[in-house]
Structure 1
């Protein structure tokens, strides 16, 4: 990678966990160096590269190691082992105002924080007016920080962090703080950073924010990198992981009537998703044509006007779209033995992610299932970040209609 500003190799952060407080002392005094602790790896052998001008996202559940990683990069923590090379000045929107002295005035804390970040007094002189204007807390700038409201404190801390002209900005769930007017200023400044070829490390639990801002993403789990790469690809995998984790147990196959009764009437032999050329699909491109082919084996032909139903659900079992041949006034073949019927989606407008199909055959009122297969086919949709929710409806923006 050319123009690397962050190069992390084999980064590990290990903590010793003691079952009892006295075990720490016993270990320290033991003449045979007996261990009384267990090793906990907050980070384990991480390798990360970030180029100049990139906005790189970090995702993962609580406890995955994201905050530990950022604190090591900013120098708040020291790694147990591994190598970190950083080219440029860093400013972090982590624990806003953590370096403020409550006895100092806001004005004095601007200089204090600037010097901690490595700026000379002369350099801070050039920034101080912009910081004060951005914070917009009036005459309180000359009062001790301990007298500030929480809102004023955050405004000043954010103004200092965002206006010191760093080469690398680290943002941890702190993009928009304060009232609406101040939030707009924060977002405007953040956009200015991105457009001026600054490097940004961005951590958020909001997947859509990661998709809006980041060029690449690292997914951390239990202190290790699970995956890294294209933003949409990695965030889709992470999103599906979270959804699957939250699922209650859903049977792979569900029969709403006695099993032996259904088996005596009809069985679903196979179902698959195909493209326009009737070729099997592994990945579905957003807005493309999708054809579902259902093969079923009829054992009892004495069923009047049977109905085929196909439903799409999200991986966390939200009902997206259910169609059946009764609603669309279509008759399906019902000959003894093998039968095949197709459902064509002309434009699969679902947003990227994992979905699945339920396949069912009903009696003529589409109420009593003869057989019901849930989660029978999985469908992975890939596409650009063009909307939020589940589906992108056909639309057009206009000044006049």
Structure 2
């Protein structure tokens, strides 16, 4: 497929002044160019992006990350400070509610105005206007000035105009958050029809699940830069990890202080954990697993004192925002670990895989005395790992299940 959007080394720079006087001083010194009175703010910083025809691209990022600025540059509402932008095809955009509408014009008049902006003649719009009015479904208000419209009516008319002018590229920025549920469902259905026809769509939404449902690819913008671009599940999972970690660490100490405060009791004259490995079913060490992949943990520990009775090995999984996912130990499972002087190994196997949804997680590992209360050694974040997952559920865990018409209770993993 050919590229319908090609963005190369794109920058959008705004000049920030501390006060109005500095702006005036710089204007007066324009020809002399002796001193700069402003600071450069990069709303977009060296953006490189290629979009193929028919792709459905979800744009992710916090407020202020540069999403709307990028879309406005692509649509021509803003001009880039530097870099190149090549667009093949006609763009229809829903970036700002009712952008391009004249509030004094009626709904019908604004339909023709929008058509003119899209390059259609009045005769061509005559063939489209009935479909637009029918989809908007705002009744007699189509003959009223749009300044009297509610936000929901505005959304109906704006969306109806955008999708009924046969665009090659549709840009949608949070517009589906406006309007009632039935209208949103109608919009979704129409967008699916456009996807099947090969329309390229750039989609912005803070609802990550919506991005996952609709998009075939994701681009994460952070501080005006492309942080990550690629597979929809991988990028959205990493973005969610970023949001979780940021939320979890707000108001916390610096990383150096955190590390100083982590209680890792290491009694070297008793025992010491020497290595912690994550192995595939084939015994290969790796850091990325699919959700249902067998994951085997290999813990190697050095025993210095053989006289410890019934020592316990514990392994815990936590999410990147420090939520406790699953903690296991040999005391609870009534297992006896080897405890001979010198090097010992013991294994923990997650036979059905780690049934959590995609993202970054980490292991804690510890050796305890017989009650698993006092740690001989406790290592926090001994190893990080990635779970890669398709969009096949929501929440934190995937609970084994089945759907059926059969009312009989039985093994959910059976037929």
Where structure 2 has 5 or more consecutive residues not aligned to the other structure, the ranges are 250-254, 408-415
Q: Distance in 2 between matches of 1:221 and 1:149?
A: 33
1:362 aligns with 2:333: no
Whole-angstrom CA distance in 2 between matches of 1:27 and 1:397: 69
Q: Which moved more, 1:327-336 or 1:287-296?
A: 327-336
TM-score normalised by structure 2 residue count: 0.89
Preserved CA contact (<8 Å) 1:254 1:372: no
Aligned to 1:188: 189
Instruction: From 279, 302, 306, give the equivalent of 1:297.
Output: 302
Which shows bigger deviation, 9-18 or 372-381?
A: 9-18
| 1:73-92 to 2 correspondences below 5 Å | 73-92=74-93
Would the alpha carbon gap of residues 393 and 311 (structure 1) be closer, same or farther in structure 2, given more than 3 Å must change?
A: same
Aligned to 1:255: 263
Partner of 2:383: 377
Note the residue ranges of structure 1 that are not aligned, 5 or more in a row.
Answer: none
User: Is the partner of 1:263 in helix, strand or coil?
Assistant: coil
| Structural mapping, 1:1-400, within 5 Å | 2-30=1-29, 31-34=31-34, 35-248=36-249, 249=255, 250-251=258-259, 254-255=262-263, 259=265, 262-348=267-353, 349-400=355-406
Give 1:97 shift: 0.7
What is the count of residue pairs matched by the alignment?
397
> 3-state DSSP class of the match of 1:251?
helix
Deviations 1:49-82 (A, max 9, x none): 2121111222223222211110011111111222
Q: Deviations over 1:279-301 (max 9, x none)?
A: 21232122111111112222333
Please, what TM-score do these two structures have when normalized by structure 1? 0.92
Hey, what's the Cα distance between the residues in 2 that align with 1:178 and 1:38? 40
Specify the SS of the correspondent of 1:131: helix
Name which of structure 1's ranges 67-76 and 142-151 shifts more when overlaid on structure 2. 142-151
In 1, Cα distance between the equivalents of 2:338 and 2:104? 83
Answer whether contact 1:13 1:43 (CA < 8 A) is retained: yes
**How far did 1:253 drift?**
8.7
Measured in 2, the distance between the counterparts of 1:252 and 1:314 equals 21
What root-mean-square deviation, in Å, do the aligned CA atoms of Structure 1 and Structure 2 show?
Answer: 2.1
Q: Deviations over 1:301-332 (max 9, x none)?
A: 33332221111111111111111112211111
Deviation at 1:239, TM superposition (A): 3.0
SS in 1 for 2:259: coil
